[in-house]
Amino acid sequence: MLKQLLVTFLFCTAFGAFTASSQFVLVNSPTDIEGSYTFTNAFDNGWGADITTGLWTADVALVEALTAPTNEGCDTLVNGADLAGKIAMVDRGSCNFSLKALNAQNAGAIACVIINNITGGPVGMGGGDFATEVIIPVVMLSLEDGDIIKAAMALGPVNMTIGDVAFPNNIGANNIDWLRAPNGTMPAGQYDVAMIPFTPGAVVTNFGANDASNVVLETSIDYMPVGGGASMNVYSATETFDLLEEDSSVLLTSDDYIATEGMGTYDVSYTITSDSADQVDNDNANTNQFFLSENVYTKAGWDFANDRPARDNAFTIAGGGNIEFITGFQMPLGVGYQLESFNFYVATNAADLATVGASNVTAFVYEWDDVNEDGLEQNDEISIVGFGEVTDWADPTATAEWLTIPILDFDDFEPGFVVPQDDNVYFVGVRYQGPELVFFGFDTGYDQSVYADFIAPTLADLPYFWVDTWIDLSPDIEGDAAIFTDFWGSCATALIIGQVNSTGEVNPEIGSFEVYPNPTTDFINVETKLAKDFDKVDYTVVDNNGKVVSILRTQGQDKNATIDVSTLPAGQYYLNVNTEDGSVSKAFSVQR
């Protein structure tokens, strides 16, 4: 059964629709910062005023609350006289969006502009406890745009308009309207077998009052190999639509692209033009990126700075309680591989993670066997093959944490699930069972709405789906499953795979070894069972991108070792044991 996704949001961490460009947030003065600004709108999440119904124009005033941080507006505002009849500006932070807006409204503001507190653009805004009381428009701008406006406010008045503004010439596309690759991150070796095509394109809309002629969508893809090097263009295409009438849209797509260049990043750039000079230019271009990795699957993009899935939001089911977010991955090359670990983000608005309870958060791997070959997932076709338990939090007093946990085979509880054959489909679910509001990470910057609407044929191709009921331990996908329909972003859960012969199993020429604790925070112990007394043994720690981050050499009879990993960022790593007769390796994870 399909149903609309009902969501509630973590503090101010949320997302939603990127507002159609026929509505605007405009800076009217001063002239050096005037123009249209990219924004998100609370009304798209079901609260605040509908900005399609009018215009709100006034000078902007920064809120000042009774307690610090004062610009977050989380309690009584002490500058009500400055806010009356103005558009209130408030920083995103430690309290709910609707509380900030309500405080501004009560102070007499006619609208509320929330400034994001992280880079990467504005995000959607869940209503929360005070949503029904807010009747003024509420929008969000990016951190960068907020800084520009605040700098101008320090020099004099800034005048702004929010609402439904008509321009004669205005074509463009919303954030959700650009096509992105099916997986934000995928192992290059798997991709080389699957050769999954990426169809570049965009839904182009004429938001203006005039018809637009000779509408052109240009696409360019640049490739950069892992480890750096010169970027090179690997794809260029141009698509033209003769006449796009006012208040109409068209999906423009180019020829499929297959990434044959191998492991690395692929930067996709789009530009929309027409014969008329566009009067709103902040919706005429888009850049996004997908990554062919060494061993990671995730629907989200990749956060290279932290070596984990990209995440800018987190969400859960409305009202809290039981929830599992599930993503699917095709694994064309299965023989010789195993599923090794999960990587995901969990957060709560409870007092701390200790209140949530580590044992209430679990990750699962399900295998889909399409018995009747109809391409439709059924409950009896989904079976659990692996799981991962959260045994403890790195900091139980915190309210959020990134986790990397090993996958245990569901049959024998041994580390890793060995993939039995090629061309299998696996679903990865991150689950919470309990009464609290527990949120899981999402990357709203890697949106796949157009892909899901026009291309994706199965659940495995969607950016996520969710369940809150189970049959025994398996998700009830036929009963209460909420399939991706019109909610944006990709689940930031990663599945890390590895080769079976790279897991520390016995190599007759070398021997075997064990790594513990795993996961770890400060150090790993290595116990070896070598086939003979080698002159020297090198222990090399390698990160997910194949970069060597630590080398230790032992000599003599004692080949056991303790390796300090306290300075390494959280993530998945590999310990390679190298001898003159070859090498053997094993995955381990570092948690922070």
User: Whole-angstrom Cα distance, residue 592 to residue 403?
Assistant: 8
Mean pLDDT check: name the lowest of 85-99, 202-216, 438-452, 535-549. 535-549
Strand partners, 206: 171, 248
Average pLDDT in the 425-443 region?
95
Q: What is the pLDDT of residue 16?
A: 31
Instruction: Tell me if domain 23-164 and domain 171-293 are identical in fold.
Output: no
User: Whole-angstrom Cα distance, residue 223 to residue 234?
Assistant: 7
Residue 128 contacts residue 96 (beta carbons within 8 Å): yes
Average pLDDT in the 115-131 region?
85
Question: Which segments of 58-120 does DSSP mark as H helices, in order?
Answer: 80-83, 97-106
Q: Who wins on pLDDT, 20 or 140?
A: 140
What's the N-to-C CA distance of the chain in angstroms? 39
- 547 pLDDT more than 90: no
**Local structure of 43: helix, strand or coil:** helix
- 93 pLDDT more than 80: yes
Structure confidence by residue, pLDDT tens digits, 164-197 = 887 899 999 988 899 999 899 999 989 988 888 9
Residue 510 contacts residue 584 (beta carbons within 8 Å): yes
Q: 171-293 sits in which CATH class?
A: mainly beta
Structure confidence by residue, pLDDT tens digits, 352-406 = 999 999 999 999 999 998 877 777 788 888 999 999 989 899 999 999 999 999 9
**Which amino acid is residue 101, in one-letter code?**
A
User: Whole-angstrom Cα distance, residue 97 to residue 86?
Assistant: 18
Domain ranges of the chain: 23-164, 171-293, 312-498, 504-590
Q: Where are the beta strands (DSSP E) in 349-445?
A: 361-368, 382-389, 400-406, 408-409, 417-418, 424-432, 438-443
Mean pLDDT check: name the lowest of 64-68, 429-433, 518-522. 518-522
Q: What is the pLDDT of residue 410?
A: 93
Closest residue by Cα to residue 537 from 523, 564, 555: 555
- 554 pLDDT more than 70: no
Q: What is the pLDDT of residue 336?
A: 81
> What percentage of the chain carries pLDDT values higher than 70?
90
Pick the CATH number of 504-590 from 3.40.190.10, 2.60.40.3080, 2.70.150.10, 3.20.20.70: 2.60.40.3080
Opening angle at CA 425, ends 262 and 1, nearest 5: 130
Q: What is the pLDDT of residue 457?
A: 65
User: Whole-angstrom Cα distance, residue 284 to residue 291?
Assistant: 24
> What percentage of the chain carries pLDDT values higher than 90?
54
- 530 pLDDT more than 80: no
Structure-block tokens of residue 185? 């991150």
Q: What is the pLDDT of residue 4?
A: 27
- 296 pLDDT more than 50: yes
Distances (CA, A) of 221 to 90, 201, 231, 463: 38, 12, 10, 22
- 107 pLDDT more than 60: yes
Classified by CATH at the fold level, domain 23-164 comes out as Glucose Oxidase; domain 1 (3.50.30)
- 81 pLDDT more than 80: yes
Q: What is the pLDDT of residue 366?
A: 97
> Residue 38: which region, alpha, beta or left (left: phi > 0; alpha: psi -120 to 50)?
beta
Structure confidence by residue, pLDDT tens digits, 190-249 = 998 888 899 999 999 998 889 999 999 999 999 999 877 789 999 999 999 999 999 899
Q: What is the pLDDT of residue 1?
A: 22
Q: What is the pLDDT of residue 47?
A: 93
Q: What is the pLDDT of residue 20?
A: 41
Residue 6 — very low, low, confident or very high, per pLDDT cuts 50/70/90? very low
Q: What is the pLDDT of residue 165?
A: 84
- 19 pLDDT more than 70: no
Dihedral Cα 209, 213, 214, 218, nearest 10 deg: 0
- 557 pLDDT more than 60: no
- 505 pLDDT more than 80: no
Q: What is the pLDDT of residue 491?
A: 94
Q: What is the pLDDT of residue 218?
A: 98
Average pLDDT in the 423-447 region?
93
Q: Who wins on pLDDT, 303 or 541?
A: 303
Structure confidence by residue, pLDDT tens digits, 301-358 = 999 999 999 998 888 887 789 999 999 999 998 888 899 999 999 999 899 999 999 9
